[in-house]
Amino acid sequence: MELFRDTHFNFLGRKWWFILPSLILILAGLTNILVKGPRYSTDFKGGVETDIRWEGAPPVERIRAAVSSRLAGVSVVAAHDLTGSSEVIVSAELPSGGDVTTVRQTIDEALSTISPRYSIRDYQAIGPQIGDDLRHQALMATAGASGGMLAYLSYRFRLAYGVAAVVAMLHDAVITIGLLSLFHQEISLTVVAALLTLIGYSMNDTIVVFDRVRENRRISGRESLAETINRSINQTLSRTVLTSGLTLLTAVALLLFGGQVLRGFSLALVIGILVGTFSSIFIASPILLAWEQGHAKWRTQQRTLSAGGVR
Amino acid sequence: MNRSLIRKTLFILAITAASVFAIVRAPLRLGLDLRGGVSLILRVKVDDPSPERRREVVQQTRQILERRINAFGLSEAPVQSYGSRGNELLVQLPGISDPSRIKNLLQSRGILEWYSVEGGPYASPEEATAHHGGTLPYNRKLVATQPAGDGRLSWFLLDSQPIIRGTDLRDARVALDAMERPVTTFMLSRDAASHFEQYTQSNIGQRTAIVLDQEILSTPVIDDVIRDSGEIRGARSREQAEDLAVNLRSGALPAAIEVVQQRTVEASLGADSIRQGLQAGVAGLAAVVAVMLLYYRRAGANATLALLMNGLLLIAILSCFGAVLTLPGIAGAVLTIGMAVDSNVLIFERIREELRAGKSAGAALAAGFAKALATLIDTHVTTVVSCLFLFFFGTPAVKGFATTLVIGLTTNLFTSVFVSRLAFDWELWRQRSRATLSIGIAR
């Protein structure tokens, strides 16, 4: 079986058809984040989160009322996994100045007024400072990863390739965060881990195309850079589609079977793989071309300027 | 040709055997999120200006906590330092479901002191000061008792210098008193014992107070000379008496401790997570293998072989390092499957291109692998680079994920290039001169 054989799509010729929707997505995501504010999970803002297994259908409203009378900032979400058991996720703010360790008892008291048939399966209480630290670490990790990859690519290829790849990667990260915000998904530690993973995937995709461009540049005679890039994208197209499809399969498997804990992680991955594949073709490549063309123009200008100076 | 093939095959078989041996010898241990337990992040409250002194206090605290945990019967739970601030400690206690007991064990400082009582009991600090003309006498201090059954406190006026300090203790055990109630007995060090003997001799009939962590536990009257041991009564249960003994035995904490994060996972949730992780892994793997076989025919079988080998190596290396398998670790392993597939697709597409260009099977194979290798190294190194920055997180969960992914990527480079290539070479060798490749394209 063969997906694509000897294709000649002109990817760069129609680039605005693809860059525009991408820009719209970025804008929509960013406005959503700005208007609603970023939604951090308890990992990042501190607080209490419990995963409670309820026998029978959980009375969400009554649980909310009972916990709210004792704690501030309460949210109660019922979640069903594929096995059909019912779980309730109750989160709340930590009482100010209160002890991290006493809130479990408070929640237990609140729940036992409703029914004795529940069990707290996962209890997590995070002090506010831990959350601050984590946000700081997440920022450091993202900045560090971007810088590290830029350095490696600039060393292996040229600066232009590195910049194009990193811009495409940031594009993916921003779109994914925006879409997660649109889907009301909180930014938790696992989502950040997924973001960093898909940054790696997106890079992968871009590098495969760029590797081919570099290889073709060595043997292309009079071909223009635009033609070389187009040819390289076409040559790697079946690999790009197949790989993305297969990694998407594993991510979807995680989304379907991975359970509640991995939901945010797998959702971020599914979005990220789609966006990442798109960006290596329609974002990274045009940037590479624009940069190199601009650079060439600047060089000729410099040359005519210095030639004028001699005269 | 044949001899080199056999040598390579033997090499791979040896690695497989070693991996299986490693896994059988030391199976992967499950992390707290998969088997249930309590995890606590503690902050040592030390505000000494000297960073060296701070480090020392945190280090001491860590050792004492470890001693207490070991005494509790949880030997495989070392206390780790956590975060970048340097004053936080991570305690993981798998298999424990009731965190309150362990918390008391960790949080109480365990400073035991013995004072002489100079006045009391009083119902409130105000009553005590009123009794002494509005101000406390020089060299005296007011200390409250433990709350009584009805929650009320009473206050005693004590000498500000203790007769016995926490550092004077030599040992502490649980025993039963004459009424068969559990008591905590303690032994004094030799110096403290001779001092205490003199003191009790000249103060018979005097009331004293045993104070633990700024709380009066009991106020016995000296009725005889005491040499080197004493006992603390009033424990509500044997457990409480035991915990006190452990705390006294392991030494007093040099600084107070605050719990800044707590997580309790029930074992049943862990079991669910394992089941779900396995389901996701098997479903993902099955889907990928099916597509590969359909699309690449026999070459797809080679890729599957490489994939399985990769999984085996990954687990073997993880168990060699004594790594603990956590849920994020499972996610990392599932993602490794994705990366491994990518490598195989990259190589196979390259081989197909070479075949289409009219090369012979052998030449296409060699060229395909050689050209794909450069790309593979670039993609793997970049992913490893981005993974390394995940170690910026002090969180064990993210570290576990990054570790699995980095190891998986490394083993993948080996299996997708070396193992899969060998499978192709055998295929060619078997067909000898008129070799063709089954890689899913019509020739």
Please report the ipTM that was assigned to this predicted complex: 0.81
Mean pLDDT over residues B260-269, rounded? 83
The most confident of A21-30, A39-48, B267-276, by mean pLDDT = A21-30
Residues of chain A contacting residue B441, judged by C-beta atoms under 8 Å apart = 2
CA nearest to B43, candidates B106, B100, B95, B110: B106
Given CATH 1.10.287.110, say whether it is the number of domain B2-32+266-434.
Answer: no
A217 to chain B, any CB pair closer than 8 A? The answer is no
A231 to chain B, any CB pair closer than 8 A? The answer is no
pLDDT at B433 > cutoff 50: yes
Are A91 and A49 within 8 A, CB to CB? yes
| Whole-angstrom distance, CA of residue B65 vs CA of residue B85 | 19
For residue B19, name the pLDDT band (cuts at 50, 70, 90).
Answer: very high
Per-residue pLDDT, A142 = 80
Residues of chain A contacting residue B393, judged by C-beta atoms under 8 Å apart = 134, 137-138, 141, 189
A144–B284 C-beta distance less than 8 A: no
**Cα of A294 vs its chain's centroid, Å:** 30
Structure tokens at B218: 């009991």
The residue in chain A having the minimum alpha-carbon distance to the alpha carbon of residue B342 is A243
B386–A203 C-beta distance less than 8 A: yes
CA nearest to A265, candidates A276, A244, A251, A275: A251
pLDDT at A309 > cutoff 70: no
pLDDT at A145 > cutoff 70: yes
pLDDT at A254 > cutoff 90: no
A123–B264 C-beta distance less than 8 A: yes
CA nearest to A104, candidates A115, A95, A116: A95
Mean pLDDT over residues B422-443, rounded? 79
The residue in chain A having the minimum alpha-carbon distance to the alpha carbon of residue B288 is A246
pLDDT at B158 > cutoff 50: yes
Residues of chain B contacting residue A52, judged by C-beta atoms under 8 Å apart = none
A166 to chain B, any CB pair closer than 8 A? The answer is no
B327–A196 C-beta distance less than 8 A: no
Residues of chain A contacting residue B103, judged by C-beta atoms under 8 Å apart = 101
pLDDT at A224 > cutoff 80: yes
Per-residue pLDDT, B347 = 93
- A67 versus B244: the higher-pLDDT residue is A67
Per-residue pLDDT, A311 = 47
Per-residue pLDDT, B149 = 67
* B257 dihedral zone (left: phi>0; alpha: psi -120 to 50; beta): beta
Burial zone of B403 (CB within 10 Å; 0-12 exposed, 13-18 middle, 19+ buried): buried
pLDDT at B59 > cutoff 90: no
Write the pLDDT tens digit of every residue in A75-89: 888 776 555 667 888
| Whole-angstrom distance, CA of residue B377 vs CA of residue A199 | 17
Write the pLDDT tens digit of every residue in B327-356: 778 777 877 877 888 899 999 999 999 998
B265–A121 C-beta distance less than 8 A: yes
Nearest CB to B375 within list A127, A196, A211 = A211
Are B28 and B319 within 8 A, CB to CB? yes
**Residue boundaries of the structural domains of chain B:** 2-32+266-434, 36-107+260-264, 112-248
- B270 versus A161: the higher-pLDDT residue is A161
Peptide bond connecting B254 to the previous residue in cis, omega within 30 degrees of 0: no
Mean pLDDT over residues B186-199, rounded? 81
Residues of chain A contacting residue B268, judged by C-beta atoms under 8 Å apart = 53, 119, 121
**Closest CA–CA distance from residue A119 to any residue of chain B (Å):** 9
Are B424 and B365 within 8 A, CB to CB? yes
Mean pLDDT over residues B130-145, rounded? 77
Per-residue pLDDT, B74 = 62
Fold of domain B112-248: Gyrase A; domain 2 (3.30.1360)
Per-residue pLDDT, B16 = 94
A130–B341 C-beta distance less than 8 A: no
Mean pLDDT over residues B151-177, rounded? 79
Mean model confidence pLDDT for chain B: 82
- B209 versus B103: the higher-pLDDT residue is B209
Per-residue pLDDT, A233 = 92
**Closest CA–CA distance from residue A28 to any residue of chain B (Å):** 28
Residues in chain A: 311
Given CATH 3.30.70.3400, say whether it is the number of domain B36-107+260-264.
Answer: yes
pLDDT at A58 > cutoff 60: yes
| Whole-angstrom distance, CA of residue B118 vs CA of residue B222 | 14
CA Rg value for chain A: 25
Nearest CB to A254 within list B268, B331, B345 = B331
Write the pLDDT tens digit of every residue in B290-318: 999 999 988 999 999 999 999 999 999 98
The residue in chain A having the minimum alpha-carbon distance to the alpha carbon of residue B292 is A246
For residue A210, name the pLDDT band (cuts at 50, 70, 90).
Answer: very high
The residue in chain B having the minimum alpha-carbon distance to the alpha carbon of residue A205 is B379
SS3 breakdown of chain B: % helix, strand, coil, rounded to 5? 55, 20, 25
pLDDT at B1 > cutoff 60: no
pTM (2 decimals)? 0.77
Please name the residues in contact with B55: beta carbons below 8 A apart, sequence gap of 6 or more: B86
Mean pLDDT over residues B235-263, rounded? 79
| Whole-angstrom distance, CA of residue A50 vs CA of residue A14 | 50
B269–A121 C-beta distance less than 8 A: yes
Write the pLDDT tens digit of every residue in B99-124: 777 777 777 777 778 888 887 778 77
A208–B375 C-beta distance less than 8 A: yes
**Closest CA–CA distance from residue A125 to any residue of chain B (Å):** 5
Residues of chain B contacting residue A101, judged by C-beta atoms under 8 Å apart = 99-100, 103, 259, 262
Instruction: Report how many Cβ contacts below 8 Å link chain A to chain B.
Output: 213
Question: Which domains, and CATH codes, for chain A?
Answer: 15-39+130-306 (1.20.1640.10), 47-126 (3.30.70.3220)
- Greatest extent of chain A over all pairs of C-alpha atoms, in Å: 95
Mean pLDDT over residues B130-138, rounded? 74
Residue bearing tokens 């196979």: B348
HSE-up of A38 (CA within 13 Å, CB side)? 13
| Whole-angstrom distance, CA of residue A106 vs CA of residue A123 | 12
Mean pLDDT over residues A134-141, rounded? 80
The residue in chain B having the minimum alpha-carbon distance to the alpha carbon of residue A191 is B398
User: C-alpha distances in angstroms, B282 versus B9, B48, B206, B285, B385?
Assistant: 27, 54, 75, 5, 28
The residue in chain B having the minimum alpha-carbon distance to the alpha carbon of residue A137 is B393
Could you give the percent of chain A with pLDDT greater than 90? 8
CA nearest to B82, candidates A126, A143, A41, A142: A126
A137–B394 C-beta distance less than 8 A: yes
Residues of chain A contacting residue B262, judged by C-beta atoms under 8 Å apart = 100-101, 104, 123-125
